[in-house]
Amino acid sequence: MYSIDYLSLFEKSFIRLVKKNLSIRKKAEKTIDNLIKNPRHPSLTTHNVSVKEYGRCFSGWVSGDIRILWAFNDEKVSVVILDIVVHSGKHRVYH
């Protein structure tokens, strides 16, 4: 099991995204729980992505269009959650 750290941008994005959507909130919380237990959990469909703001990082599935961006810290003893983003449309952060 990994410890977890959050960037402040994630916290702001999370609040904005789940503010009026309890279903997305529950899915995001389950994704984070799986991420803490096993960053390669099959339900996350974890894969490498390149994002302008963060460079190379990982993407984990929350729901159809929602992803959590994350990275290992330097010692790989914790996971740093970078952001929660949309995967498609004009606001997508990676291709």
Q: What is the pTM of this model?
A: 0.84
- Rounded CA gap, 35 and 27, in Å? 12
Is it the case that residue 12 has pLDDT exceeding 60?
Answer: yes
Is it the case that residue 3 has pLDDT exceeding 90?
Answer: no
- Counting every residue written for the chain, the total comes to 95
Residue 21: per-residue pLDDT: 87
Is it the case that residue 88 has pLDDT exceeding 90?
Answer: no
Pairing of strands 55-63, 66-72: antiparallel
pLDDT in tens, 20-44: 788 999 999 999 999 989 988 999 9
User: Residue 58 — pLDDT band, cuts 50, 70, 90?
Assistant: very high
- Cβ atoms 45, 38 nearer than 8 A: no
Is it the case that residue 1 has pLDDT exceeding 70?
Answer: yes
Is it the case that residue 2 has pLDDT exceeding 90?
Answer: no
